[in-house]
Amino acid sequence: MEVLDGGVKIPRGSMGVWTLAWPSIITNLFYATSSIIAIKVVGNLGPDAIAAAVTGQRVTFILQAILTGVLAGSTALIARNWGADNKLEAGIFLTRTLQLVLFLSLISAICIWQLAEPLVRFFGLKDQALVLSNQYLKAISPFYIAFGCGIALITALRAVGDVKTPLFIGLIMNLFAIFFMLVFVNGWLGFPNFGVLGAAYGNGVSFVIGASLLIVFWLSNQLPVQYFSIFDLDIIRIKEIFKVGLPAALEQVVFQIGITAFLILVAYYGTEAYAAYGIGVQILSFSFVIGFGFSIAGATLVGQHLGAKNQDQARRAGWGAMRLSIISMTFFGVVITIFAEPLARFMIDNDEVVRLTVIFIWLLGSMQPLMAIEFSLGGALRGAGDTKTPLAITLTCLLFIRVFLALIFFLLDARIEIIFSTLVADYVVKGFLYIARFRSDRWMTVMKAKEGN
């Protein structure tokens, strides 16, 4: 059901959450499928090739996470202006968002190109895995500018409730990504056999195609948000986006530092353990992206309802997103856990990697209800402009619980299975902290306090 709040139509209730969530879920399932296929395509080349693909995807995820953190400010500001029926201001914020993200993407691409080898060494990889990972990063980094452009436009569209355009773009991108990965990795259609680098080139081409389509739609006024010149510099609004999004960006930096530290510990147990972690995450990503869809829906609805000065509906949207996320992620987590071994065997024919992957999936699969709370309520808080709370929770749980415990067990010469088990403590504490914050209702007044400053 839709109601008129503040002069614009805003979906309400659990059905409203689902209306905005399902296209994002399907879009992200496309991305997860593409990532899985990237691992599968290079799987026949051995654990070193998989380690290279995992490392390349890890760095791409780091960039995506940091940009998504900055874009949390855009989501809150665009959604709030859209909910207040101030569509021109929402369009201006979209343009300023693109300016900021293009600048950050350019800097990131240059840095990753220049620092590829020390970055890979930092992950703890050695020998052939190090060489292939270095080559993969140099191959994918020039495409990060198009990657950032696509993320910025898709995030802005979701903030105003347009989730179908990103779905359409995501479908096209991932079909091209899969096609070009198969062609480049295997040397089909007369192309050279690029091996593991073909996965990087295939993904890169899909980034360019997606960004190009979005820009054409935007310039031709086929998107709900009006185009404003990207060449007009607006420092005030860029600073506002950055101010709101900075804690979320720092949250993602902390998160990625923690994950990287965890990966480094895992890498000390050998390439098989490292590959198992990467494969396990990719398989479970089919559940993660469902939570991310509800995170987007919760952020959009909370921001729009607060912009329309309807706090009750903002609260309902957050709790509704949490309930649907728990149900959906738990279901998929159970299914994936049941079929953990055949799924792992499909990815790679290596008994030790399969064994460790199954254990990892059992552990993290059991945490899906708690991860659902983090995704949904974390998104709702960011949509309200409360970006500092997720930062504090991530810092506390990831670094001071997961990584700290893993380091202690590592120093005690514990088996890799014990290192994997530290994930459980991380998500248990996170779940309780997110529920406590959202129940307090203090997140509703964060943006007012910032506007007052």
The domain in which residue 312 lies consists of 2-452
User: Residue 432 pLDDT more than 90?
Assistant: yes
Triad 136, 151, 140: Cα angle to 5°: 10
Q: What are phi and psi of 4, to 5 degrees?
A: -90, 110
What's the pTM value of the predicted model, to 2 decimals? 0.70
Q: Write out pLDDT tens, residues 83-125.
A: 777 888 888 888 888 888 888 889 888 988 888 777 777 766 6
Rounded to an integer, the average pLDDT of 217-226 is 78
Q: Which residues contact 449 (CB under 8 A, 6 or more apart)?
A: none
Q: Which of 38, 39, 160 is nearest to 90 (CA)?
A: 160
Q: Residue 67: its pLDDT value, please?
A: 79
d(CA 395, CA 378): 14
pLDDT score, position 16 = 63
In this predicted structure, what is the pLDDT of residue 12? 56
Residue 438: pLDDT band (50, 70, 90) is very high
DSSP assignments along 82-105, one per residue: HHTT-HHHHHHHHHHHHHHHHHHH
pLDDT of residue 450: 52
Rounded (10°) angle between helices 311-338 and 416-440:
160
Q: How many domains does the chain fold into? A: 1
Identify the band that residue 245 occupies on the pLDDT scale cut at 50, 70 and 90. Answer: confident
Under 8 Å between Cβ of 89 and 36: no
Residue 177 near residue 205, CB atoms below 8 Å: yes
Residue 10's beta-bridge partner residues?
3
